[in-house]
Every structure is written in C-alpha cells, then in structure tokens.
Amino acid sequence: MSNIVLITGASSGMGRASANYLSTKGFIVYAATRDVENFKDIENKNIIPIELDLRNQKSIKKAVEFIKQRHNKIDVLVNNAGYGLVSTVEDVEENEMYEQFNINVFGILRLCKEVIPIMREQKSGIIINISSFLGKIGLPLLTLYNSSKYAVEGITDSLRYELKDFNIRVHSVMPGFFDTKFARENLVTNKKTFDKDSLYSHLVSNLAPIIVEQINNGNSADEVANMILEIIQNPKFPARATVGDKAKKFIPMKKELSDEDFERRVMEYYNI
C-alpha cells in the first residue's frame, strides 16, 4: 500500500519539487494549492492536486476529509506553504502583520489540528515543517518573516513532545536561500519601507538587492525534496536539519559565537 503524503504550497518551488520527487518514489502525493489550475500540466497519476486554503479551517477540513475518505490515512504532512513580508516594524500595517502569521504560522496549526487525529488513530505519522535558517537568526526588513519562522521552530519543538506517545514524528527543515520563485512571487514589500523617501532607504538599497540575488542564485529545490525523503525513510532522523549553503554557514556559526559576535559577522557579511 502506498504512503499518502499531503504537501502545502505544492504548486511551485520546494513544494512542487518535493511532490514530483516523492511521486517518482511510489508515494501518492496530494498537492495542495489555492488554485488547482496551477497543476493543469500535471499528468503524473501519483500527484493529485487538491484545493486548500490555509486561511480557512473549513477549506482545510474539507481537503483532509477528502483524503481520509479515499485512503483512511495520511502518512506524511509537509507544511511547506509560506511567503515573506519585507517591511520595517515601524512601517508595517496591521493587516500585513496578521497575514504573515496567518499563512506561515496559523496555517500550520490549523492543518495540524485536522491531520493529527488521523495520525493518532493510525498510531503513526510524520509531520515535516519547512521552516528557514531565518527561524534561528534575524535580519533587518524581515522581522515579520523571521519571527513567523521562529514560531515554526517553536511549534516543531513542542509538537515533538506532544505527539511522541502516538508514534508521530515531527521535524523541521531549515533551508537557506533557494533558487525558486520565492523572490519573484513570494516576497511581499511594504510600500512605505520601499518608498524612495523612506528613513530606511539606505538599509533597503544595501540589503534588499543582496537578498534577492542570493535567493535567485541559491541552491536547487531538489535538495529539499531529497531531505524530505530522507526524513520519511529514517526513523532516527534529527529533529531539525539545515539544507543549502547559507543555512549551513550561519546556523553553526550562531551556535559557536556569542550573540554580539554573531551579530557583527552578519552586519559585515550583508554590509548593514
């Protein structure tokens, strides 16, 4: 019997790469997206597009119930969907703050809330949260995104305790910058912060182009897909793992240095 996988944000980037890769390994992948038209080019019978809006509990419940009715199980949940808000704290709007957490954090909690009972009843399951190396380090202009990914790390840590008695594993993957559509489609900018007369214009002009360039010239999303398969296949896989050059550079450095020394290194590296 094939393993059943549900992946959010599966229409592009790491989600799409993971759906494609797992489908070639015999998994049945439910590729969740707000618009199933994103999969009109898919002919792989192991990839099943499913409409799911992380902002809406009814939409989540409907999608999860559909999978349960067809298979009576969900073996793996990959919480991949997310986006990045680029804004200073001074300029950020209330709706921007809420939406950043609504997708990146509350969406994960809503989906876990629906999937955990299925995994608990079947006495097995794997939850993989696609976080970011920015869930362990801060960067200016990305405070809201950073803090949302810090929250994902907290969810991962707590759920590991909460679900261990039900044989449900919980893991976090912390990618660095990857060559996906993230910089082109999944970065949302605050108008005030990016106004030419902004008090933060010097910071924006220095940092924003570097970040975009590093994302567009980052690692291949296939590396994340490979790690997801490793996690599924290895019951003793670590609680979290880094993938990509920037993550492998900064996360170990953060552990080795004092907060002050690490901050100096980051400022020097990004010229801020």
Scan for tokens 């106004």, then name that residue: 195
- CB crowding 156-195: b at 16 or more within 10 Å, else e: beebbeebeeeebbbbbbbbbbbbbebbeebbeebebbbe
Answer yes or no: are the C-beta atoms of 104 and 155 closer than 8 Å: no
Catalytic residue among 149, 150, 172, 198: 149
- CB crowding 42-53: b at 16 or more within 10 Å, else e: beeebbbbbebb
What is the gyration radius of the CA atoms in the chain, in angstroms? 19
Pick from 207, 218, 228, 203: nearest CA to 270 = 207
Please tell me whether residue 242 adopts helix, strand or coil conformation: strand
Active site residue 205: no
CA distances from 74 to 124, 179, 186 (A): 9, 29, 28
Active site residue 11: yes
Catalytic residue among 145, 147, 148, 150: 145
Answer yes or no: are the C-beta atoms of 174 and 135 closer than 8 Å: yes
Catalytic residue among 11, 23, 87, 148: 11
Catalytic residue among 18, 23, 131, 132: 131
Q: Which amino acid makes up residue 237?
A: F
Q: Strand 47-51 to strand 125-130: parallel, antiparallel, or no bridges (unpaired)? A: unpaired
CA–CA separation, 10 and 31 (whole Å): 5
Active site residue 131: yes
Active site residue 145: yes
Q: Cite the active site residues.
A: 11, 131, 145, 149
